[in-house]
Amino acid sequence: MANSELFKPPAAANSAFTRRQSGVALITVLLITAILVGLTTQILSSHHLVIAQHQNSFEQEQALQYAIGAEELARQALYDDFVNSGPGVDHLEEFWAQPTLPFDLDGVGVLQAYVVDLHRCFNLNSLGGDAGDLNHERLKRLLANLDLSPDIADLVKDWVDPDQIAMGFGAEDSAYQLRQPPHLAANQSMMDISELNSLADVEQAAIRLLAERTCLVPDTGMKINVNTASALTLSALDPTVSLGDALAITQLPRNFLTMDEFISANPAFNPVRADLSVTSEYFLLIAQAQLNRSRVSLFSLMWRDPSSGVITILQRDFGKRFRHDYLALDGEDSP
């Protein structure tokens, strides 16, 4: 027998070795396949996430531009009103004051917007001006008509006036420093109506109601437009004017061209004539643009120069929730 035949492995052993090698190769291939599948899934998932993020960013930017577009439209409407209707009168029958239906955005979204005249409501910052004491009494009457405590007027006055003298049931720095967290009274005009939440010991329901029926303009004057004012605001101006008398005025169309015309029709307001007007300077645009799941709300405070009609944006706020009934001062004259 040749030597090569002596060392030749048996056929069974060779077959088992081959099967083992095939099994290892198969496991290796399966592991590589599993790894590749996992990597592919992760890459696809990351790719879809990147696409979704870019789509959301694109839609959010689009919604923002639509909201800014609504602001530009409001500016143009107010300027056109000044030029075409004249600078001497503003009323609720003009184009800028008309309620608008939601505007369809090519079937992928909707734009909603309206303008509020800020001379139709009580300016809380007026309590910090030269006529602060008079307007403090007016705010008390407004609070009484809302069935709220008149003590809130003391707190508002102490918050916006520049001194450290607490009025009646008001509060200054010493009171606010004892609260958690400690803070100081603003002692300046409010920048946002949400500052009412910082007043001492006032229930949230009262704060909410007062915030819905008052407003802020960035000065301490009190100039009420008789063509747009709410009954609540008109009745607060003088103790001789009841809420019922004011409602009788606001429930009728108003388009007084001069103060003489208004006073002739409503002589009870002659004592407060200096605080009345038939035109407005400050306006608030409230807009919301929604595209699919992206939504942008915009509150823009605008000032119209009474000499030129030029509109200036004083403040933009993207943090407030859009409301259809914002500043619904009375049930009968919501925007």
What pLDDT sits at residue 332? 44
Residues of the chain under the 50 pLDDT cut: 329-335
Tokens of 333: 């004259």
User: Residues 23-82: pLDDT tens digits?
Assistant: 666 677 777 777 777 777 777 666 555 555 555 677 888 889 999 999 999 999 999 999
| All domains in the chain, ordered by first residue | 58-118+281-317 (3.30.1300.30)
What pLDDT sits at residue 14? 59
Predicted TM-score of the model (pTM): 0.81
What pLDDT sits at residue 35? 76
What pLDDT sits at residue 314? 96
What pLDDT sits at residue 110? 93
What pLDDT sits at residue 123? 97
Whether 155 contacts 186, CB under 8 Å: no
What pLDDT sits at residue 292? 86
The span from the CA of 65 to the CA of 34, in Å, is 46
Residue 147 φ/ψ region, left for φ over 0, alpha for ψ in the -120 to 50 degree band, beta for the rest: left
What pLDDT sits at residue 106? 80
Tokens of 65: 């531009």
